[in-house]
Amino acid sequence: MIEYMMRCVVSLALGSLLLAAGQSEAQDGPPERLASRTQEVTRSQATALSALFPGLGQLAVGHRTRGTALVTAELTCLVIWLTSHEDYETQSAQIGIESRRYLSLREGGSFEEAEESWQRLTAKKDDLDGSHTRRRLFGALAAVVYGYNLVDVMVLGGAEPHSASSVSVVPMTGNEATGVALVARF
């Protein structure tokens, strides 16, 4: 349970850190060499970005708080869901091992050791049930956040331009490498 709480705190702290770190950078305009290649984000582009991952479309059109909240909520739900899933799988394996141990102790070992094994088995079963509940809850919450994100971008105005924002694809050339950069200004 303490591990679970620590994971939640770390996930929320990372989201807050990302929000705080991006505040000053988001206020700056694009570098001069990129300024002529920027274009406004269209509604369809914002919808496509939001379909890829919750909050990206809102961030692209300038709804910084709304977009950051959706990205952070989705990441938090996914991290907790995946962690709970792994905990569930690990605890299932441990229950299998402890069940075999209990059966062997019951048939040929001491009563006291069998009783201790039974107590461990019931404690592991309670942990397994908790992991299963968390896994289902946060999986459902991730789906709800994704659904709300789509409703927001399609119906509630999450894809309408909020401020001067742009997305551009810029060819990058350098001494050693050539490539393309996607630049988003919020």
The per-residue pLDDT for 8 is 60
- Is pLDDT larger for residue 2 or for residue 46? 46
Q: How far apart are CA 145 and CA 49, in angstroms?
A: 15
Token readout for 125 is 């079963």
Q: How far apart are CA 13 and CA 134, in angstroms?
A: 20
158: containing domain: 2-30+43-163
Quick count: other Cβ atoms within 10 Å of Cβ 150?
Answer: 15
Q: Report if residue 132 sits inside a domain.
A: yes
The per-residue pLDDT for 43 is 78
Q: Report if residue 37 sits inside a domain.
A: no
When pLDDT is averaged across residues 78-102 and rounded to a whole number, the result is 84
Residues 161-171 have pLDDT tens digits of 654 545 555 66
Report how many domains make up the chain. Answer: 1
